[in-house]
A = this chain, B = another copy of it.
């Protein structure tokens, strides 16, 4: 494995191999495995778990990391090709990314969706353009439409919780003050489909995931013995569910139109997950990639209760990413 950009680039067996490696590193640390190796982490967008867990993963494997935050400590970087740079950005990624790569053994890059044109964001053009600038090992720390490290860690969490492969996995939209990107729902949908689960996307009207994302997940499900469907009927989706994966995202029907998005979501504050959602799914576990706004997306009573596994999920970023880095830099 040379790059970790999209869980869909891996076969089901390759994912299972990474998860086995993650469990092995969790049981038996390898504090010298990446001695002398250096990971560069470039965050165009803020982070907590990704920032901390990648630094921790390198440290626990005996390597080093360095962090660049364009706009904070470093200047803004331009991502658009061909532009006359006489504005705020002092450097183009065409220089910045290969230069940083030349100092390091691997790079990780986080660049969220622009959120203007759905087709542009689906094409991952900005991230892909940066990925093409280096042939060093590269990790997607969250791009416009993907977050493979989150998806891999979540699969491990499902295994840790002994969620059956064929169990019902409900990916539910939740309320947030503004439109958030589609990276996590897209990556997690694919992950659950590839795991072979009965996946139901539960979302209000106007918030359906884009068809290319749904179609890709349906193909993965078909190959893995799972299924993918969608609904806005909460009771139907949750009945008998093993897992409710909660996530906030923007209205796809009015992508790039904050005013229209705000109108749509203004009626949807009821999409805050509460205990009374689980009448027909008493043992259902609740997942969320974090950060989560308490009592906006999920109520305190759920996050602080026994069905929440969000802490386990966040912790699993560490062993999952240790496995990825081990494969990229040592194997």
User: What is A's interface to B at a CB cutoff of 8 Å?
Assistant: 29, 31, 35-36, 38, 40, 43, 46-49, 51-53, 55-56, 59-60, 62, 64, 66-70, 72-75, 78, 82-87, 89-92, 94-96, 98-100, 102-104, 177, 290-296, 300, 303-304, 310-311, 314-315, 317-318
Assess whether A84 is in contact with B295, with CB atoms less than 8 Å apart.
yes
Q: Add 14 more A-B contacts to A56-B103, A85-B294 (CB < 8 A).
A: A40-B56, A48-B70, A51-B74, A52-B68, A67-B73, A69-B73, A78-B294, A83-B294, A84-B295, A90-B291, A92-B293, A95-B291, A99-B314, A102-B315
- Pick the most buried of A67, A89, A99, A290: most chain B CB atoms within 10 A of its CB: A99
Tell me which residues across on chain B come within 8 A of A73, comparing CB atoms: 43, 46-47, 51, 67, 69, 72
Residues of B within 8 A of A100 (CB): 48, 52
Distance between A316 CB and nearest chain B CB, rounded to angstroms: 9
In the bound assembly, the distance between CA atoms of A290 and B75 in angstroms comes to: 12
Subset of 13 A-B contacts with CB under 8 Å: A31-B35, A36-B60, A48-B70, A52-B66, A52-B68, A52-B103, A75-B291, A84-B295, A86-B296, A87-B177, A91-B291, A91-B293, A103-B318
C-alpha gap A75/B177 in the complex (Å): 15
The residue on B at minimum CB distance from A102 is: B315
Which chain B residue shows the least CB distance to A73?
A: B69
Q: A86-B177, A294-B83, A296-B86 are in contact. Are A314 and B95 (CB under 8 A)?
A: yes
What residue in chain B is nearest A96 (Cβ atoms)? B48
Identity of the chain B residue whose Cβ is nearest the Cβ of A272 in the assembled complex: B84
**From A63, which residue of chain B is reached at the shortest CB distance?**
B59
A95 partner, pick from B52, B99, B290, B295, beta carbons under 8 A: B290
Q: How far is the CA of A69 from the CA of B74 in the complex (A)?
A: 10
A90 contacts across to B, CB distance below 8 A: 291, 293
Residues of chain B within 8 A (CB-CB) of A59 are: 38, 64, 66
Contact A293-B95, Cβ < 8 Å, known A38-B56, A311-B102: no
A103-B53 in contact (CB<8A)? yes
Q: In the assembly, what is the distance between CA of A85 and CA of B174, in Å?
A: 13
CB pair A290 B91 closer than 8 Å? yes
Is there contact, CB below 8 Å, between B311 and A99? yes
Report how far A291 CA is from B92 CA in the complex, Å: 8
CB of A245, distance to nearest CB on chain B (Å) = 16
Q: How far is the CB of A101 from chain B (nearest CB, A)?
A: 9
